[in-house]
């Protein structure tokens, strides 16, 4: 783990040095390619007097709501699909169709259905996570060994109890993978929709902040916003998913 962190730190230092060299050589116009120092100053300024924290927290509140709804629905529908062949045939078709539809493409319909507000953005977030996660969960459930399933049935487990007692622990690697993919797609979808959608009655998110910085030709501010997005992604990956992975599937010996 220490070696991995050391390698990553060295890579980031080398990347910043290369960026500074390219900036100093003026390969690109300085307006379009700010220096690391300018980006850092814009980053600090965004949080001190630019309201970047407010925009970020609003985006996080929206994605948190969407993730909770999407994860719950994915678990419910995937569990029903594994205990009912009829439901599996129907839901598998729905997942195959809906998983191909970009969330942004559904934005015009979402606006017509839910109006201009938080509900529209949350709908896009739910759409972004539920289908890939359902796919991963169902694939994981189908890969569970019959020995485990029969053992569960022999001790009286059936229906939801069989799902939570046998399928879920045995396929938790796939479930965690589905959550990772769903989170990533939902986060990208949220930022994209915010850049198009703008503000709601309750506030505006980091996507709208990026749009405003671009409109004002504040490219350093755009890069600073991207750094915020990257930092949040790293925190979720290493602070949440890696921690869950370490205390579950790694501890159980399911992965190295």
Average pLDDT per run of 10 along the chain, which is 256 residues long? 79 89 83 86 82 86 90 90 87 89 84 83 89 89 81 78 80 84 86 75 77 83 89 86 78 62
Name the 3-class secondary structure at 1.
coil
Which residues form the domain of 121?
47-247
Name the 3-class secondary structure at 176.
helix
Q: Are 58 and 205 in contact (CB under 8 A)?
A: yes
Position 234 scores a pLDDT of 86
Evaluate whether residue 28 is within a structural domain.
no
Evaluate whether residue 160 is within a structural domain.
yes
C-alpha 193 chain-centroid distance: 14
Evaluate whether residue 184 is within a structural domain.
yes
Q: Could you give the CA distance from residue 113 to residue 119 in angstroms, rounded to a whole number?
A: 9
Evaluate whether residue 141 is within a structural domain.
yes
Domain count along the chain: 1
71-127 pLDDT, tens digit each: 999 989 988 888 888 998 999 999 988 888 888 888 888 888 888 778 888 898 899
Evaluate whether residue 69 is within a structural domain.
yes
Evaluate whether residue 12 is within a structural domain.
no
Give φ, ψ of 200 to 5 degrees.
-115, 180
Looking up tokens 């399928």, which residue turns up?
Answer: 167
Distance from the first to the final alpha carbon of the chain? 13
Q: Are 124 and 189 in contact (CB under 8 A)?
A: yes
> Does residue 51 come out as left (phi exceeding 0), alpha (psi in the -120 to 50 range) or beta?
left
* CATH number assigned to the domain comprising residue 218: 1.10.3720.10
In this prediction the pTM is 0.81
Evaluate whether residue 2 is within a structural domain.
no
Evaluate whether residue 23 is within a structural domain.
no
């Amino acid at each position: 783990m220490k070696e991995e962190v050391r390698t990553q730190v060295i890579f980031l230092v080398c990347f910043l040095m290369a960026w500074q060299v390219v900036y100093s050589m003026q390969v690109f116009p300085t307006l379009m390619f700010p220096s690391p120092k300018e980006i850092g100053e814009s980053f600090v300024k965004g949080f001190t007097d630019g309201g970047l924290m407010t925009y970020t927290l609003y985006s996080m509140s929206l994605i948190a709501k969407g993730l909770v709804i999407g994860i719950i629905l994915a678990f419910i529908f995937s569990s029903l699909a594994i205990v009912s062949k009829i439901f599996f045939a129907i839901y598998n078709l729905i997942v195959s169709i809906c998983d191909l539809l970009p969330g942004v493409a559904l934005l015009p319909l979402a606006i017509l259905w839910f109006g201009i507000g938080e509900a529209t953005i949350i709908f896009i977030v739910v759409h972004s996570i539920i289908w890939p996660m359902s796919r991963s969960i169902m694939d994981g459930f189908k890969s569970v060994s019959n020995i485990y399933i029969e053992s569960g049935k022999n001790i009286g487990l059936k229906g939801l109890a069989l799902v939570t007692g046998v399928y879920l622990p045995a396929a938790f690697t796939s479930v965690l993978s589905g959550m990772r993919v769903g989170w990533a797609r939902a986060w990208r979808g949220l930022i994209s929709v915010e850049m198009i959608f703008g503000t709601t009655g309750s506030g505006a998110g980091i996507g709208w902040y990026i749009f405003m910085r671009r409109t004002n030709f504040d490219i350093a501010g755009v890069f600073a916003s991207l750094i915020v997005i990257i930092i949040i992604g790293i925190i979720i990956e290493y602070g949440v998913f890696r921690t869950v992975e370490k205390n579950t599937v790694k501890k159980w010996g399911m992965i190295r």
